[in-house]
Structure 1
Amino acid sequence: MTPSYGRLAGVLAAGLLATATPALPAAAATAPVVVGTATGEVRGSAAAGVRSFQGIPYAAPPVGDLRWTSPRPAAPWTGVRDATRPGPACAQPTGYPIGVPSENEDCLYLNVTTPAKAKGKLPVVVWIHGGSLMYGTGDMYGPARLASAGAVVVSMNYRLGVMGFLSSPALGGSGGFGLEDQQAALRWVRANIGAFGGDPGKVTIMGQSGGGYAVCGHLASPASKGLFHRAIVQSAPCATGGSRTRAAAEAESAKVIEKVGCEEAGDVAACLRAVPAADLLAAYGAFAEPRPVAGTALLPRTPARALRDGRFNRVPVLVGVNHDEERGMVAGAELAPGGRPMRAGEYAPAIRAQFGADAAAVLKRYPLRAHGSAGAALAAVRTDHAWAAPTLDTARLLSRWTPTRMYEFAEKDTPWFAGYPATSFPVRAQHMAELPYLFDLKLFEKLPPRQARLAERMIGAWVRFAATGDPGWARFAERDRHVRSLTAGTWKRAAFERDHAYAFWTGLSR
């Protein structure tokens, strides 16, 4: 199973290098809140220095006979469509703080946020939200600060979980309808973003965790060629994730088909399309890790193979990982009903259960005494194994073919989830910890002033990358594996390979 923040959400729910940003025209008048698109006019709103247009349909509702089919064009409308509220969340499980409980299938809507006084062509950032490709909405990530820094920001809802990735011979199709939805949104951006002040020739796709794996998919998919010009991959090592085999996807789907009683139907597809969304969600479960199917026209090769062979959409890439990815996941388990801090005597058995014959070597390299607690030690092992080493491998593969920058978000004084009690050891730069620095996200505690200044610097770097392909630090190359450490202090080169025992994990995998 590839890592994502679905596990973190589950346990929680159960328990300086200065960077420049594109200048905005100081004398420009506030742009209009009624904008024409290819399918009709939309009326947005203006506040706090930005214009916001929400709930714009970018594809037809995938309901009825269109369930599990490629997205179709949205129908045009007459008059001016209200665009002051986001569209419905796509169908997803209930009870997760990173999600919005929903059984809605009419959900293919996007949002555009732009500086209120901007004119001309600004770089465009298309945000693909995370949530294990199971949960979430685009609008829950407030983009006002990114837009104010000089970008047009687009987010979208796309089909999730069982609705987006069910794969059966009875249904046909790609097995990656959620990825196809994102491509439809990118085609909408190409056709319409100029009317909002964006440059259709300067589009950056940006995703984190499940959304980051989607970016990996777009890098590898021939159908995404020409739809974007730069890519930002956060906490999603393309070298080890981003797709499934057809056999694995169909085996998972067969269980769903059996649970909803369609395995013996004369027309399995018709039977499935008649099953209520709630029953499909229940049959699929809450902890799945869907991915598009490799070996299809949508995704001929896995992202890892595409990067190794150089047969991917070669655009400048900013790829990064958080220093302590697994700390939140391990610490969050303490908050589950009946949870508690991991005991010292439980550390070695947990390592043996995960690493088998390699456990002795792992325990020698990561002794309990070096980490302060069993939970912190386990998090260090899992971070380095599942996140840090594969992300460096991803940067190495990318850098052979295209300009690549790599960062490590390493701030220690990060906000925790709002309303949740403290855990037995600091979570630091855990999975998702960088998100409140880039977006206004109610899920987290408010940033104190020092952290707010770090947020400004990070936003500046991200927007600069979207504008120029250079966030403000050296390129990653095989001969010089430069990884920038992002903290509230001076941004400098990280001792990444040493800190995360890269040589150890590389040798262990041989």
Structure 2
Amino acid sequence: MWVRGSAGSGLRGFGGVRCVALKGGPVRLTGISLLASALLLAGAAPAAALDRPAEPSAIVRTDLGPVRGQVQQDHRLFQGIPYAQPPTGDLRWRPPQPARSWTGTYDATFPRSQCAQIAPPYGGETTYGEDCLYLNVTTPSRTRGRHALPVMVWVHGGSNLTGSGSAYNAAKLAVDGDVVVVTVNYRLGPLGWLAHPGLENGADRRYQAGNYGLLDQQAALRWVQRNARAFGGDPRNVTLFGESAGAADSCANLVSPSASGLFHKVIPQSFSCATPVRTEDSAEGDAVTVAQAVGCDKGSPVENAACLRAVPVKTLLETFDAKGMSAGPVAGGDRVLPLQPVQAIEKGRFNRVPVMHGNTLDEMRLFVSLIYPQPITAAQYEGIVRATYGDKADAVLAQYPARDYPDPRIALATIQTDAGGALSACLHQDAFQMLKRAGVPVYAYQFADRTAPPLIDVPGFDEGAEHATELTFLFPGLLGELDPRQQRLSDAMVGYWTSFAWHGKPKARHTPHWPRFRSSGDVLSLGLGADGIHRTDTTKPSKCSFWNSL
């Protein structure tokens, strides 16, 4: 997803967006460092799926050996469990290899390293470690019955460049929803998504280069298949869910033949499954540019690959960043992602599972506020629109006149939220319709609490329900604290999300009915108050008919 307007070089941080340096300030960070570096300790829970002991144990036996976690009053937490070998040395840019067993009891009471990344401008930590393929498991301490629990596997956002699974406190989902939650690290940036053709040699010819992060996620899902029962989970009832880049990856896994059977429901949050992913040609061209910049373009394909594997991580990250490269799945000619998601779904060649899919009401206010933390004038707004839309600008300005908005930046963000990009309401409607035509159950939503804690608090700017604001309602404390009305919305959302994991239908006690998507008006708006949760037609306020006419 690319920010439209005069942001030429773009913004980096979520959903494939690239960042420019902030113009002006100050900007107050409201907890976003949690997305990349803060390690929230939440607990986890039950023992084996059958014949659970009366008291929860801190030790669980996995297929590779026993692990010791933390037992809290209502949940248990197991952190930093390896699901694959460290992708270092000769294993850099290769599919993840099975983790090795251990002797004794593995200490799973603290998280391990996040994957190598440069901290984004909104906060976080720069790290260079490649040994990062770990996951975390949270379960309720006691279950309400003797049945195995649904498993929810979380893929974090961050443009496939930043973030970590351990930043997300899954205790509320696990305890209130009676589910097992697994949060996953996967390779990021050039280490997870570099598509150099020299990496396709020997046995690696079976794989399109550039999908290593996606393969990591699938390796974690296979770990879940082998170990879910040990934590009280049901390997036959796994829900894959993710936000922003994590949603993009979830959409890719939805259509990936190599992910077949690894999950049974999917929840992409704030990234439309109708969005094209990188093509083989463009991804490989970008990778060649990186290789040239680090001096690995002077030999045979095998020699260039060996050269790249010897480049220090710091150099790779800084070069990738300086060249403005994007990271994410590559549609190529192998079994990982042979087709673009849209093509695969239209052809019926995807994993046919129920889908819960949606975005936030004001997605692009985040990115506009990062590019323009200082106010812009109505004349500047008009110039941005004209530079973006050319001979269509008059029509766009007639639909979005600056006088109709309290701040020209809000007008600009509204245009970008409505139309075109991967986060947009209209492209999400395209995805809902496409999936409905494919015959799978679809449940559509739009998060609409404009008072939610923002990702970044820009003075003098109304962030509204910007990108990522729904996350705090699922993972408490991520971006800030919730007031009592927001807590009630959080309870409803956790109920919807986890009931979907249980039964494939979002249906929770004391909450309005969530209809299956059959027409554009079957989107559930998630807002505050007695009437805050209701059906809505997002095509109308987002002017999708107008945008389609262009």
TM-score over 0.5 for the pair: yes
464-473 or 112-121, larger mean C-alpha shift: 112-121
- Superposed CA deviations along residues 109-148 of structure 1, whole A, max 9, x for unmatched, are 1100000112531111100000001100001011111111
Q: Distance in 2 between the 1:95 and 1:411 partners? A: 25
SS in 2 for 1:416: coil
- Superposed CA deviations along residues 208-262 of structure 1, whole A, max 9, x for unmatched, are 0000000010011000010000000100011124x21111101111111011111
User: Per the alignment, do residues 203 and 256 of structure 1 end up closer, same or farther by CA in structure 2, a change over 3 Å counting?
Assistant: same
Q: Distance in 1 between the 2:399 and 2:113 partners? A: 48
Q: Distance in 2 between the 1:103 and 1:201 partners? A: 36
Q: Distance in 1 between the 2:55 and 2:460 partners? A: 49
SS in 2 for 1:424: coil
2:62 corresponding residue in structure 1: 37
Q: Distance in 2 between the 1:469 and 1:100 partners? A: 37
2:353 corresponding residue in structure 1: 315
1:434 corresponding residue in structure 2: 470
Is 1:163 aligned to residue 198 of structure 2? no
SS in 1 for 2:85: coil
1:355 corresponding residue in structure 2: 389
1:223 corresponding residue in structure 2: 258
Contact 1:222 1:313 in 2 (8 A): yes
Amino acid at match of 2:413: A
SS in 1 for 2:363: coil
Amino acid at match of 1:493: R
2:110 corresponding residue in structure 1: 85
Is 1:485 aligned to residue 487 of structure 2? no
SS in 1 for 2:291: helix
- Indicate which of 35, 47, 52 corresponds to 2:72: 47
SS in 2 for 1:139: helix
Amino acid at match of 1:374: P
Contact 2:160 2:327 in 1 (8 A): yes
Is 1:457 aligned to residue 492 of structure 2? yes
Q: Distance in 1 between the 2:120 and 2:162 partners? A: 10
2:364 corresponding residue in structure 1: 326
2:399 corresponding residue in structure 1: 365
Q: Distance in 1 between the 2:121 and 2:370 partners? A: 13
User: Per the alignment, do residues 310 and 117 of structure 1 end up closer, same or farther by CA in structure 2, a change over 3 Å counting?
Assistant: same
User: Per the alignment, do residues 453 and 98 of structure 1 end up closer, same or farther by CA in structure 2, a change over 3 Å counting?
Assistant: farther
1:60 corresponding residue in structure 2: 85
Superposed, 1:378-457 pairs within 5 Å as: 378-385=412-419, 386=421, 387-400=424-437, 401-417=439-455, 421-442=457-478, 444-457=479-492
Contact 2:192 2:212 in 1 (8 A): yes
Is 1:180 aligned to residue 215 of structure 2? yes
Contact 2:15 2:248 in 1 (8 A): no
Contact 1:28 1:117 in 2 (8 A): no
Is 1:199 aligned to residue 234 of structure 2? yes
TM-superposed deviation, 1:411: 1.0
Amino acid at match of 2:214: L
Amino acid at match of 2:271: A
- Superposed CA deviations along residues 153-205 of structure 1, whole A, max 9, x for unmatched, are 00110001100111111111422000000000000000101110111111000
Report the count of equivalent residues.
Answer: 490
2:157 corresponding residue in structure 1: 130
Amino acid at match of 1:151: V
TM-superposed deviation, 1:332: 2.8
TM-superposed deviation, 1:461: 0.7
Q: Distance in 1 between the 2:474 and 2:262 partners? A: 23
Amino acid at match of 1:488: L
Amino acid at match of 1:65: D
User: Per the alignment, do residues 342 and 7 of structure 1 end up closer, same or farther by CA in structure 2, a change over 3 Å counting?
Assistant: farther
Is 1:494 aligned to residue 521 of structure 2? no
2:516 corresponding residue in structure 1: 475
SS in 2 for 1:87: coil
Contact 2:369 2:458 in 1 (8 A): no
TM-superposed deviation, 1:8: 8.1
Is 1:341 aligned to residue 375 of structure 2? yes
- Superposed CA deviations along residues 457-482 of structure 1, whole A, max 9, x for unmatched, are 1111100111011113111014x640
Report the TM-score when normalising by structure 1: 0.92
Amino acid at match of 2:432: A
User: Per the alignment, do residues 11 and 130 of structure 1 end up closer, same or farther by CA in structure 2, a change over 3 Å counting?
Assistant: farther
SS in 2 for 1:56: strand
Amino acid at match of 2:154: W
Q: Distance in 1 between the 2:123 and 2:242 partners? A: 15
Q: Distance in 1 between the 2:190 and 2:124 partners? A: 15
Superposed, 1:209-248 pairs within 5 Å as: 209-241=244-276, 243-248=277-282
Report the TM-score when normalising by structure 2: 0.85
SS in 2 for 1:51: strand
1:70 corresponding residue in structure 2: 95
User: Per the alignment, do residues 280 and 324 of structure 1 end up closer, same or farther by CA in structure 2, a change over 3 Å counting?
Assistant: same
TM-superposed deviation, 1:29: 3.1
Amino acid at match of 1:482: D
TM-superposed deviation, 1:10: 6.3
Q: Distance in 1 between the 2:94 and 2:457 partners? A: 43
- Indicate which of 333, 348, 352 corresponds to 1:296: 333
Is 1:503 aligned to residue 528 of structure 2? no
Contact 2:521 2:537 in 1 (8 A): no
- Indicate which of 140, 143, 146 corresponds to 2:173: 146
When the two chains are superposed, the root-mean-square deviation of aligned CA atoms in Å is 2.1
Q: Distance in 2 between the 1:341 and 1:7 partners? A: 21
User: Per the alignment, do residues 240 and 356 of structure 1 end up closer, same or farther by CA in structure 2, a change over 3 Å counting?
Assistant: farther
Q: Distance in 2 between the 1:123 and 1:296 partners? A: 33
Q: Distance in 2 between the 1:217 and 1:411 partners? A: 28
TM-superposed deviation, 1:308: 1.9
Q: Distance in 2 between the 1:98 and 1:459 partners? A: 27
Unaligned runs of 5+ in 1: 16-23
Amino acid at match of 2:66: E
Amino acid at match of 2:325: A
Q: Distance in 2 between the 1:31 and 1:330 partners? A: 48
